[in-house]
Structures are given as C-alpha cells and as structure tokens.
Structure 1
Amino acid sequence: MIRWCRNNPLAVVWGITVLVWGVAIAIFQPQIPQVAPYPFPQVIPLADWTFTDSQPLTPDQTPDSQDIPGEVVSGQRYDYHQGDTHLHIEMRYLAQTNGDLKALIKHQTGSLGTVLKSVESVGEFSLFTQGDASQLDACINPQGTSTVTSDQFKRNRTLYDWRSGRFLGWILGQTPLHDNRCLWTRMTFSTSSDATSAAQAQALASTWKDWHQWWQSHFPPSAKTP
C-alpha cells in the first residue's frame, strides 16, 4: 500500500481532497430554507382575454391534497372571459416538491400517456377535454421549461440549477443544491359555443404559452437560508 502511494502521488492527493470536501459538505450542509408565502399579483395581463376576477385560494380549496407533492405555500385564482368562453386559472406555489403531478392527473383521466403534451420552448403539460370544458395542468419551474412528472422536473433542475451557480452557494452552506419549488398551474377552459374538442384544446394550449411566458420572468424570488 505504501509503495502504491509513492508511485501514485496525484491519486493520493485527489483522494485526500475528495475526503476533505465530503467532510466539509457534511458539516456545513445548508439548512432547508423556509419559503415565505408569495403574494400573487391581483391582475395578470393575458392577450385576447378580459380579466374578470382574482381571489386568494385557501388550503381547503386544494383538490386531492394527498396527491400534491410538497407544501402548498400560497395560491391564487384568476378568472377571464372571451365572449361566451370562460378561463379559470388556479395557481399554487409549492415548496420542497418533486414536481410530480402524475397521481393527480391519473385520478381524473385514468391515464397520463394519453393526455401528456409538449410544446417546443414551453415544455410539458397535460391536457384533456370532457364535455364543454378542457383542463390543463403543469408545473412552472423556477428556470427552464414546464414539467409534469418527477423525472422531467429533476432533469430540469439538474440542468438549470448547475448553470445558475447554485453549486458554489451549496458548497458555502448558503443554499440547497436544487431549487425545489414549482408553480402548479391548472387552467380550465369552458365555452357554451359549438367549438369542437380539438378547437378547445388548441385554444387552451395557445393561452398556456402566453401564461408560461409571463411567469418565466415573474417567478417568485428564491428563498434564502436563515
């Protein structure tokens, strides 16, 4: 063993460095930050839609709470109309989440694969139509595209959190390595017109692009450790 160490000094130095680094991380592991309730804007502009109303969501207004991954910190409901067509949007700010909406969606649709959609530069979302209403669910990420499953959320966080320099803050014990927050968005589009299911779904997907774009530059600021 001693002979091997003499013949491989760089390997020894690297091994010691990794050991010291690991011990330092274990000692100075940052605390999980307390995410403060986010005061949602009362009005959010949405192209081609007329704003009707906005109200905070209370904890008892969270459907299927057992399927919500993480802590619901705060929420807001927004209502818009466009003639005889109505748009109802519920936003919930989730902390310490894995972004997994699969169980929630499966309870409503019976399947995830048939309702999972994707739009380039926007991301993944679920979309289905029942009768005269279409519903969309997605997780708006702090950075990057929207997601529906935990795998998508994890890939997004790994990619963008490393790019944002969080690794250095993690090493210094100032912030968690990953920003595990999400704006769970549920959009419901209903109309009394004779629009087909395909037309409803297309209109809702178009509205979702505008909504997601607005939140990309207005996502709640990240929490800091005490």
Structure 2
Amino acid sequence: MQILYKNICLVTIAIAAVGAIAISVITIPKFSNRPRYQLPSQIDLPNWRSLSSQPLNLPLDSLLTAHQYLYNDYSRNHQVRIDAIYLNRVSSFLNIIKNINIQYIESTLQLKYAANIGHYALFADQDQAYLASCINPTGQGTLTEAQFNSNQHHIDVVLSRLGSYLLGTADLRDYRCLFTVISMPIAKTASTQVNYQYLEKSWIDWHRFWQDKFPTDY
C-alpha cells in the first residue's frame, strides 16, 4: 500500500510538472517577475524593547533581502542585535557566516537542538557571542543542507505546493531560508554561557514570531 501511494504521488507530480510547463507558455506571469518580499521595518518581541532597525546589504548570491534589528531587554542591561537574512537558496551556516565576515573561536562552537524549534549554533569571538540558524518554510531551524533537505523531502510538503506551482507563483520545491544571526557583546563580568542563555531566550521569541509568519512570497 505504501509503495502504491508513493507511485501515485510521483505520477501526480509528473503530471503537475507537464501542466505547469503548458500553463507557463500561455498567459500566467512568472512568479520571479512579481514584487519581492521585504522584511518588516519593525518586529515586536515579548521581553524585548525594539530600539532601531535598518536594511542590510550583504555579499550573498542567494540574497533576497536582509534587515538588522536592535533590542534591549526591559531591564536595559542587555542589548541584542538580530540580522535577518532572507535567502532563496539554502547553504550551511558555516558558509554563510564566513561570507558575511563573522569569525569565531572554534572551541566556543556548540551545536544545539530543541524540540519544536530545531537546530541552532552558539559560538563566540573575543567580544561577541552569537546564535545562528536557518528558519525554513516548515518552521524548523536547520544548520546544514542535509537537515534542510530532510525537512523538504516529505511528499506532503511537495504536494502542498502543487497548486501554486501550477499557477506559476512558486517553485515545486521551496529552498527559501530566513537565516538568522543573533549577537550580543560579551559581558566582562559574566561567562560566555551566560551570554548564550540570553541569546537562546531571544531566539525562542524570534522563532515563535516567524512560525506562522514565514513569508509566502519571494
């Protein structure tokens, strides 16, 4: 029964692909020509006071748009910076942070996983502590291409996009990633682990915001 279901799904996808090609030749505009999604100028997070934001221009080939947000916690003792980098092609987090000139001390790198949130990385240099992860359309955070592809290989994920694909408004596979880097200065009177705890706190709030607000457009 499982093999039969899989074969039916594959045939359905093949038929959809042929139909999409036929439709695209006729009248439906290409989704790539539609207006690009822009990240919000302000994102309100619980437990954090929004200070400012600005667009980012980064040297990434797959960049769609990027924005930087600054926050204080309500005690005003800790400030965090969140760089939201919206990509149309996923890559490993190590490649991305290298391309945006973030360096770190290898011994500080910690790879973490949290249920309902996914994978994320913690690391630091001499002055800053960082948290990085890619929020993908399924809502889970990933760090590697293998983790991202694992989330995308479910047949129901592909089938859910057939309608948009046939209308020429989306790819059959969704490779988008909201790559997030959260950083804060390392306090001289506190250990790096204390900074990591604050980063994880802001990451939970940030991830929760995007769970039901992930962009529907490119």
TM-score, structure 1 normalization: 0.72
Does the CA-based 8 Å contact 2:135-2:141 persist in structure 1? yes
Segment of structure 1 superposing worse, 181-190 or 26-35: 26-35
Q: What are the equivalent positions in structure 2 for 1:110-149 lying under 5 Å apart?
A: 114-149=109-144
Equivalent residue, structure 1, for 2:3: none
The SS at the match of 2:138 is: coil
In the aligned structure 1, how far is the partner of 2:107 from the partner of 2:126? 19
Q: What are the equivalent positions in structure 2 for 1:7-46 lying under 5 Å apart?
A: 21=15, 24=18, 27-28=21-22, 33-34=32-33, 36-46=35-45
In the aligned structure 1, how far is the partner of 2:21 from the partner of 2:205? 44
In the aligned structure 2, how far is the partner of 1:23 from the partner of 1:206? 43
Does the CA-based 8 Å contact 2:16-2:162 persist in structure 1? no
TM-score, structure 2 normalization: 0.74
Does the CA-based 8 Å contact 1:99-1:139 persist in structure 2? no
Q: What are the equivalent positions in structure 2 for 1:1-226 lying under 5 Å apart?
A: 21=15, 24=18, 27-28=21-22, 33-34=32-33, 36-57=35-56, 59=57, 62=58, 65=59, 68=60, 70-82=61-73, 83-95=76-88, 97-105=89-97, 108-109=103-104, 114-159=109-154, 162=157, 165-167=160-162, 169-170=164-165, 172=166, 174=168, 175-192=170-187, 194-223=189-218
Does the CA-based 8 Å contact 2:158-2:173 persist in structure 1? no
Matching residue's letter, 1:86:
Q
Q: Give structure 2 stretches of 5+ with no counterpart.
A: 1-7, 25-29
% same residue: 28
The SS at the match of 1:152 is: helix
The SS at the match of 2:142 is: coil
Equivalent residue, structure 2, for 1:7: none
Give the number of equivalent residue pairs: 197
In the aligned structure 1, how far is the partner of 2:155 from the partner of 2:206? 21
Matching residue's letter, 1:206:
K
In the aligned structure 2, how far is the partner of 1:137 from the partner of 1:54? 19
Residue deviations 1:187-211 (CA, integer Å, cap 9, x gap): 1022545121111112211210110
In the aligned structure 2, how far is the partner of 1:100 from the partner of 1:80? 27
Does the CA-based 8 Å contact 1:105-1:112 persist in structure 2? no
Does the CA-based 8 Å contact 2:109-2:124 persist in structure 1? no
Does the CA-based 8 Å contact 2:111-2:120 persist in structure 1? yes
Matching residue's letter, 1:158:
H
Superposition CA RMSD, Å: 3.3
